[in-house]
Amino acid sequence: MDTLTGRTIKALKTHIAEGQLAKGHKLGSLNELSQTFGVSRTVIREAVSALRSDGIVEARHGVGVFVVTPPTPASETHAELEAEAALAPLARLKTSFMDLLELRMAFEVHAAGLAASRRSWAQESNIWNAARQFEASLDDEDSLDDLDFVFHRSIAEATNNGAFIEFFNLMSLKILPQPAFSRELNPALITSGYIQNTVVEHRAICEAISVGNPELAREAMRAHLNRSHLRYRGFSDDNASPLSNIAGE
C-alpha cells in the first residue's frame, strides 16, 4: 500500500542498501530517524517494525535501531516480484467501491468479535495504543491514514487467525480508501466532527474488546463502519464514493 509508512519503509531500505551499511551499524534512535526522514515517530516505529519482521534491523530499547541483514538489490527485486504476484488477483478485481465497503463490513465486524474473545493482553494493549496514537495525532492529518490502518490491523491480528490476518493485509489495499482523512481532498466529507466521531468509535471498539464481549465488539465495529459507509454513499449520485477513484488506482 502506497502510504506514508510504505514509502518510509522503502526509504529506509534504500538508505541502508545505498549507504552500504554493514551488520551492526547504528541507524539512530526513533527520534533521530523521525527527523532524518521527516515523518512522525509513529510512522518510523511502524517502518522499523516492518523491517524488523524482515530481519533487516533490530531495535534495542533505549539504545537505537541497528542493521542486522542489509537488503541487497537482488533480494529486494525478488521480494517486489513476490508481492506483485500475490496482489495480481486484486488488480483484476472489478467491482464498485460500495461493494468493497460492504465486504469490509462483513470481514471487520466478525474480526472484532473474534478479537474480543481471543486477544492476548499484548494484543489488547496494541489495539489501545493504536487508538490513542490516532487520537493524539488529530493535528497531523498526514499520519491519520497510517494510524487508522494500524488500529484496524491490530484488531485483525488479535483474532489469532492466520487467514484473517493475511486477508486483511491483502484486501486492505482495496477496501481501505487512501487517503481517507484528507480534508483538502474531501472538505465536504472529512470534517473535524467526522474525525472526532472516529475517535469516539475507536474507543467504543476498544472498550468492547477489553471487556471480552464479542457481541458488543461486533456492534461497535458495525456502528463505526456503517457511519462512514452511509456518509460515503450520501455523497454519491451513482453508488460511487468521492474516494472511488482512489480505490480503483
Q: 131 — phi, psi (to 5°)?
A: -65, -40
**What b/e sequence results for 212-221 when a residue is b if at least 16 CB atoms lie within 10 Å of its CB, and e otherwise?**
ebbebbbbbb
> Residue 94: helix, strand or coil by DSSP?
coil
Q: Where in the chain is the domain with CATH 1.20.120.530?
A: 93-247
pTM for the whole structure: 0.61
* Amino acid letter, residue 137: S
Amino acid at 198: T
Alpha helices in 20-161 (DSSP H): 30-37, 41-53, 73-91, 97-118, 121-136, 141-157
Could you list the pLDDT tens digit for every one of the 249 residues in the chain? 456 777 888 888 888 887 778 888 998 888 888 888 888 777 788 788 888 877 888 888 778 889 988 876 545 555 555 555 555 555 555 666 677 778 888 999 999 999 999 999 999 999 999 999 999 988 877 678 778 888 998 999 999 998 888 888 777 656 665 566 766 666 667 778 888 999 999 999 999 999 999 999 999 999 998 887 776 665 544 444 444 333 333
145 and 4 Cβ atoms separated by less than 8 Å: yes
Distance in angstroms (rounded) separating the CA atoms of residues 131 and 27: 28
Q: How far apart are the first and last CA of the chain?
A: 11
Judge residue 77's burial from the number of C-beta atoms within 10 Å of its C-beta, 0-12 exposed, 13-18 middle, 19 or more buried: exposed
Q: Which of 46, 7, 6 is nearest to 30 (CA)?
A: 46
Whether the CB-CB separation of 37 and 27 falls below 8 Å is answered with: no
Q: Where in the chain is the domain with CATH 1.10.10.10?
A: 4-67
Top-tier CATH class for 4-67? mainly alpha
Burial of 20 (0-12, 13-18, 19+ CB in 10 A): exposed
| 93-247 carries CATH number 2.60.40.10 | no
**Per-residue three-class SS string for 152-193:** HHHHHHCCCCHHHHHHHHHHHHHHCCCCCCCCCCCCCCCCHH
Measured distance CA(134)–CA(195) in Å, rounded: 10
